[in-house]
Chain A
């Protein structure tokens, strides 16, 4: 049955190529809000699902791209393991393929790494409908260009993900969350200072004068850190971090446009609006109805980039524009994978 699906994918892609009609790759649509709305007919990738291989003692899991994220997380949890990048789902039926293509990571990102850091290999279909395999199921692999990692965050513009192998990690033995009342400058300073010392910090969040800090590791290390840093121990912290990751907590309930600003962890962002800081200072969520150009200019002043994450209407520019030489490299790479230009046109930048 899975082979039939593969044949169908390949057929649809080849047909789309000859007719020059773009395709819009879709898992469950949980991240439809993110990026531009691509033109073309939907290619439903959700049927190609199932965990192919999981060896806990090898720290590697391989699953088809349509596999539900929560299914994967449940299987990992049974073995006391997890996806280290703590991906947001943004919907009950979020798929692995969508997670890797969107390249979004959750609260653990600053300490553990992003989706791309844990992608070991992919099987994918290029714009000619050919099934290709890169990377593998081993931790280290430098044979050929790193196409697997390149697929992470490419929003389906380079090809259809079929299968992904991920490095997984043991769940921490214990976790605890501490809270501190601070102003923004103090919080930024503390987050950066503490990250420069060997504390087991696994997530940070600053909003509304409160710095929230999650510790993960051996119980003894957590206790020692609490003793050194002080702070109020938080109850129901799993819910808190879930709310941040899934954007269901109160901060995210707002009408205006939500911007995602990525910048150096020590930078300050001169935007007088509602902000939530994550990743030790390197990620700022900002609600504002300011003009996009202005938000981007302020982000650039802080040596960062701004992406319009959620908004009622979709303007032409969503992701931070690329400088011309980089844009040209992107366009040429897009052609290398997808010569007819059929995958997710307009999802990332206007022409790809």
Chain B
């Protein structure tokens, strides 16, 4: 459809300030958090009401115009990357917290509400929303649902999918669906789970009901330093084998520690190869006992230093270093590329060794930040986009890491989503028939493929061209053929 005709039709039901079509107005929307990919959309619409969203979708459906939904644009896989022939649908104006029910411990919010704003609003009732991505000051709850975002506390408290109760979703045909309910379960298929992590491919979320949890009586954090990554990894297994599920269990390697320390002065030891942050929470009495147990487990595991945060201020300081790890590493080089693979935890030493080898091979440094409790690794590859060839090398390095994750039985993405970024690696993780089922599922929601087309699931044709060696679920096809 011609853009002037589309604009004319949009103006029939949207106020002028809700439509952007001038180049300088479109610029801020050309990418999400993955800035290596940029594309201007045909038009940006910023509706204010659900009825307007419905009209936008109906129009796009009728005219076969693709639509990309956008929350806060902090996504790291290019999920909200616009399409040159499509509408970018911003949910930024859906920023109202509609209702908090302190007794039932639920909050009903619009999709553009910031993650942290929910916990801030619930704090008056001693409640909070558990999933806490590091981007929580800015990212939207709608984006969190679309990506199934996690945070440093998800080992104990779960991901987005475990912490939401209901959604209002508008299909590309403009049909409003109520998925889930304020109860704990609903009849029919678990569409709440299907929608979570579906990267804006099945419908546009216009309302989210989340669960709220009581704030723990006490939270305390331990900081342990190790002279090898192996020992830190073994300590994680020891803690869990002892029957303890920490509220947070994070690991950082040397480069990440140094960057974070320089950036926020968190008080991390600098003479170690790895640190572990282990947070315990619960009732006062419980935390007192557990802290002692974990302290001795860490020492027995060979920690060179173990410190318990003295007070809440120090606890927050320890976390500040971890939460600022991405931007901190970002100061080490002009650009960094954040990966997001998951692995069975026991494979960590092997995986880190291979990443180290790749780093030498590609001539690019890498810092590792690890949600150690649940095996989610974030290698941050440092590069300089202005140096010819470095971006391409960084991407090739990243692809290697993801393929390695699949090879050891893990996944190419734990929480950042596939988007446009990892679309080729989907061919490595999934077989043709599995991808075919994804396409069939997509079709059952969006027959014409108008919602965020080209993202998340590669076409079979693309996989054939990529020619990936299929290392399905840890079993490489030719295990004896050497590869680097």
Instruction: List the interface of chain A (C-beta within 8 A of B).
Output: 55-60, 80, 103, 109-110, 113-114, 116-117, 126, 130, 132-134, 136-147, 149-150, 152-154, 158, 169-171, 173, 189, 192-193, 195-200, 217-218, 220-221, 223-225, 262-266, 279, 282-283, 303-305, 307, 319-320, 322-323, 325-326, 329-330, 332-333, 335-337, 348
Please, how many angstroms separate the alpha-carbon atoms of A237 and B150 in the complex? Answer: 36
> Chain A residues with Cβ under 8 A from B285's Cβ?
218, 220-221, 223-224
What's the nearest-Cβ distance from chain B to residue A184, in Å?
15
- Would you call B263 an interface residue if the criterion is a C-beta within 8 Å of the partner chain's C-beta atoms? no
> Contacting A143 at CB < 8 Å: which of B176, B181, B183, B426?
B426
Known: A332-B444, A333-B441. A136 touches B184 (CB 8 A): no
- Would you call B400 an interface residue if the criterion is a C-beta within 8 Å of the partner chain's C-beta atoms? no
Question: 0/1 per residue, B269-305, Cβ < 8 Å to A?
Answer: 0000000000000111110111000000000000000
- Would you call B216 an interface residue if the criterion is a C-beta within 8 Å of the partner chain's C-beta atoms? yes
Known: A200-B283, A262-B185, A322-B188. A59 touches B240 (CB 8 A): yes
**4 pairs of A and B residues whose beta carbons are closest in the complex:** A139-B374, A149-B193, A332-B444, A170-B243
Cβ-defined contact, B440 with A336, below 8 A: yes
What's the nearest-Cβ distance from chain B to residue A145, in Å?
6
Question: 0/1 per residue, B128-171, Cβ < 8 Å to A?
Answer: 00000000000000000001101000110011011000000001
- Would you call B103 an interface residue if the criterion is a C-beta within 8 Å of the partner chain's C-beta atoms? yes
What's the nearest-Cβ distance from chain B to residue A40, in Å?
21
> Contacting A140 at CB < 8 Å: which of B154, B187, B456?
B154
Please, how many angstroms separate the alpha-carbon atoms of A307 and B371 in the complex? Answer: 40
12 A–B pairs (Cβ distance < 8 Å), ordered by A: A113-B158, A132-B433, A143-B418, A149-B161, A170-B245, A173-B243, A221-B285, A262-B181, A262-B184, A279-B184, A307-B187, A326-B177
Please, how many angstroms separate the alpha-carbon atoms of A252 and B288 in the complex? Answer: 42
Within 8 A of A (CB), among B433-484: 433-435, 437-438, 440-445, 456-457, 472-473
Chain B: which residue is nearest A279 at the CB level?
B184
Please, how many angstroms separate the alpha-carbon atoms of A224 and B159 in the complex? Answer: 29
> Chain B residues with Cβ under 8 A from A60's Cβ?
344
Please, how many angstroms separate the alpha-carbon atoms of A153 and B445 in the complex? Answer: 20
> Chain B residues with Cβ under 8 A from A200's Cβ?
282-283, 286
Total residues of chain B contacting the partner, CB 8 A: 98
What's the nearest-Cβ distance from chain A to residue B232, in Å?
14
Cβ-defined contact, A329 with B191, below 8 A: yes
Cβ-defined contact, B188 with A326, below 8 A: yes
Cβ-defined contact, A144 with B189, below 8 A: no
Known: A117-B162, A145-B194. A325 touches B289 (CB 8 A): no
Cβ-defined contact, A141 with B342, below 8 A: yes
**Residue with the highest number of chain A CB atoms closer than 10 Å, among B125, B150, B154, B473:** B473
Known: A55-B346, A169-B245. A144 touches B374 (CB 8 A): no
> Contacting B162 at CB < 8 Å: which of A57, A113, A153?
A113
Known: A144-B418, A322-B187, A330-B189. A138 touches B411 (CB 8 A): yes
What's the nearest-Cβ distance from chain A to residue B231, in Å?
15
What's the nearest-Cβ distance from chain A to residue B23, in Å?
34
Cβ-defined contact, A109 with B184, below 8 A: yes
Please, how many angstroms separate the alpha-carbon atoms of A138 and B443 in the complex? Answer: 28
Please, how many angstroms separate the alpha-carbon atoms of A85 and B429 in the complex? Answer: 29
Chain A: which residue is nearest B102 at the CB level?
A196
Cβ-defined contact, B190 with A198, below 8 A: no
Chain A: which residue is nearest B376 at the CB level?
A140
What's the nearest-Cβ distance from chain B to residue A106, in Å?
13
Cβ-defined contact, A143 with B429, below 8 A: yes
- Would you call B84 an interface residue if the criterion is a C-beta within 8 Å of the partner chain's C-beta atoms? no
Cβ-defined contact, A116 with B193, below 8 A: yes
Chain B: which residue is nearest A219 at the CB level?
B289
Chain A: which residue is nearest B216 at the CB level?
A198
What's the nearest-Cβ distance from chain A to residue B53, in Å?
16
